[in-house]
Amino acid sequence: MGRKIVVALGGNAILSKDASAAAQQQALRDTAEHLVKFIENGDQLIISHGNGPQVGNLLLQQAAGSTEDNPEMPLDTAVAMTQGSIGYWMQNAMNQVIKEKGLNKTVATVVTQVEVSADDPAFSHPTKPIGPFMNKDEADLAKKQNPDFTFVEDSGRGYRRVVPSPKPIGVVETEAVNTLVDAGIVPISVGGGGIPVVSNGSQLVGKEAVIDKDFASEKLAELVGADALIILTAVDHIFVNFNQPNQQKLEAVTVSELEKFVGENQFAPGSMLPKVQAAMDFVKATGKEAVVTALDNIEGFIENGSGTVIKPEPSKV
């Protein structure tokens, strides 16, 4: 048996400028060509993914068409809906590529609930961007049409809606995911960071929030006993002094070294920082390695370890 790995895929890798179903399905077909390399390598693969653009678009569509007889759905339900739609596209794309390559695997989506604390301070401070980028006039119009929404400028790229983003404390379907892996099936889990729920006695209650998919992927990797967490992003490596003349890529780095860079504000809060923090959390919790690299660098990582590998502190014994 190969290593059990959780691979976290960003929602923006699924949707670029074209939000149509056909364009997203084609993007996932291209993604599957890369992800299947892990299966060819003998790894036990668990896939997670983001849904920020998709769930934001869905909420705007629902708000625009909401009526008293056909009201829009709450945010937790919209997360579940995009888990289902993206999972449907992704499992079909993966299964197609797997068959073309003559591999003996199948892929299945698990609609996943992720437990958060009802007292998480994030519920009072929305920070998670979802949905499309807008200019100022578009954001003002969207705010007028949806007074309960909060919009902020996002990393110099335009305005986006922000929602609460509580930290995950558990993954309800952990046992189901491990059962699928043990059966030789590739699960797609914690899609869009998972459906945020809080425990109320024997009941799980959905919350109006979106969980960061990197933190949800870390928690899943920790709970399923993964051998590695691999976070896929737009660049092959984590960089310090990014986009400056003294830019430097990180290859092998320890948690303490990364913590120093975090303290220097080297990583953008809405971009690389949560990936770095999730990777560090996994290494500290498990003593195993985490990797941050690009989707199209998967072959380079498998063949020669290319990418940023976050390692535990060396033993002092």
Is 213 tagged catalytic? Answer: yes
Active-site hit among 52, 207, 213, 297: 213
Active-site hit among 87, 275, 297, 307: 275
Is 146 tagged catalytic? Answer: no
Question: Please, which residues bridge with residue 150 across strands?
Answer: 162
List pLDDT tens digits, range 266-297: 998 878 999 999 999 999 999 999 999 999 99
**What percentage of residues in the chain have a pLDDT greater than 90?**
75
List pLDDT tens digits, range 226-237: 999 999 998 999
pLDDT of residue 11: 61
Q: What is the reported pTM?
A: 0.91
Active-site hit among 52, 87, 128, 192: 128
pLDDT of residue 94 exceeding 90, the answer is: yes
List pLDDT tens digits, range 168-208: 999 999 999 999 999 999 999 999 999 999 999 999 999 99
pLDDT of residue 131 exceeding 80, the answer is: no
